[in-house]
Amino acid sequence: MEKDKWMNQAESHILHTYNRYPVVLDHGEGVYLYDMEGKKYLDFAAGIAVQALGYGNVEYNQSLKDQIDKLLHTSNLYYNQPTVEAAEKICAACGMDRVFFTNSGTEAIEGALKTAKKYAYTKDGCTDHEIIAMNHSFHGRSMGALSVTGNAHYRGPFEPLPGIVKFAEFNDLDSVKSLVNDKTCAIIMETIQGEGGIYPAEESFLTGVKQICQERDILLILDEIQCGMGRTGHMFAWQEYGVKPDIMTCAKALGCGVPVGAFVMTEKVAEGSLKPGDHGTTYGGNPFVGAAVSKVFDIFAEQKITEHVKEIGEYLQEQLEQLKSEYDCIAAHRGKGLIQGLELTIPVGEVSTKALKEGLILITAGSNVLRFVPPLVIEKEHVDEMILKLKKVLA
Ligand SMILES: *Cc1c(COP(=O)(O)O)cnc(C)c1O
User: Angle at CA 365, nearest 5°, toward 359 and 367?
Assistant: 110
Q: What is the pLDDT of residue 336?
A: 97
Task: Tell me if the bond preceding 160 is cis, omega within 30° of 0.
Answer: yes
Give 179 Cα–ligand 1 centroid separation in angstroms. Answer: 25
Number of alpha carbons in the 13 Å side-chain half-sphere of residue 141: 6
| Selection from 274, 247, 279, 277 nearest residue 119 by Cα | 274
Q: For a substitution probing ligand 1, which of 17, 138, 256, 373 has the most ligand atoms within 8 Å of its CB?
A: 138
* Nearest atom (ligand 1) to Cα of 137: 13
* Nearest atom (ligand 1) to Cα of 227: 13
Virtual torsion, Cα 321, 325, 328, 333, nearest 10 deg: 20
- The answer to whether 55 and 47 have CB atoms below 8 angstroms apart is no
pLDDT tens across the length of the chain (395 residues): 799 999 999 999 999 999 999 999 999 999 999 999 999 999 999 999 999 999 999 999 999 999 999 999 999 999 999 999 999 999 999 999 999 999 999 999 999 999 999 999 999 999 999 999 999 999 999 999 999 999 999 999 999 999 999 999 999 999 999 999 999 999 999 999 999 999 999 999 999 999 999 999 999 999 999 999 999 999 999 999 999 999 999 999 999 999 999 999 999 999 999 999 999 999 999 999 999 999 999 999 999 999 999 999 999 999 999 999 999 999 999 999 999 999 999 999 999 999 999 999 999 999 999 999 999 999 999 999 999 999 999 99
- Residue 342 has phi, psi (to 5 degrees) of -115, 125
Which residue type, as a one-letter code, is found at position 391? K
Residue 214, number of CB atoms within 10 A of its CB: 11
| 251 C-beta closer than 6 A to ligand 1 | yes
For residues 246 and 265, what is the distance between their CA atoms, to the nearest angstrom? 6
| 223 C-beta closer than 6 A to ligand 1 | yes
Give 288 Cα–ligand 1 centroid separation in angstroms. Answer: 21
| 139 C-beta closer than 6 A to ligand 1 | yes
* Nearest atom (ligand 1) to Cα of 142: 9
As a three-state string, the secondary structure of the chain is CHHHHHHHHHHHHCCCCCCCCCCCEEEEEECEEEECCCCEEEECCHHHHCCCCCECCHHHHHHHHHHHHHCCCCCCCCCCHHHHHHHHHHHHHHCCCEEEEECCHHHHHHHHHHHHHHHHHHHHCCCCCEEEEEECCCCCCCHHHHHCCECHHHHHHHCCCCCEEEEECCCCHHHHHCCCCCCEEEEEEECEECCCCCEECCHHHHHHHHHHHHHHCCEEEEECCCCCCCCCCCCCCHHHHCCCCCEEEECHHHCECECCEEEEECHHHHHCCCCCCCCCCCCCCCHHHHHHHHHHHHHHHHCCHHHHHHHHHHHHHHHHHHHHHHCCCEEEEEEECCEEEEEECCCHHHHHHHHHHCCEECEEECCCEEEECCCCCCCHHHHHHHHHHHHHHHC
For residues 168 and 193, what is the distance between their CA atoms, to the nearest angstrom? 14
For residues 161 and 157, what is the distance between their CA atoms, to the nearest angstrom? 10
What is the reported pTM?
0.98
Q: What is the pLDDT of residue 31?
A: 98
Q: What is the pLDDT of residue 118?
A: 98
Q: What is the pLDDT of residue 1?
A: 78
| Selection from 103, 99, 93, 126 nearest residue 112 by Cα | 99
- The answer to whether 131 and 148 have CB atoms below 8 angstroms apart is yes
For residues 179 and 166, what is the distance between their CA atoms, to the nearest angstrom? 7
| 105 C-beta closer than 6 A to ligand 1 | yes
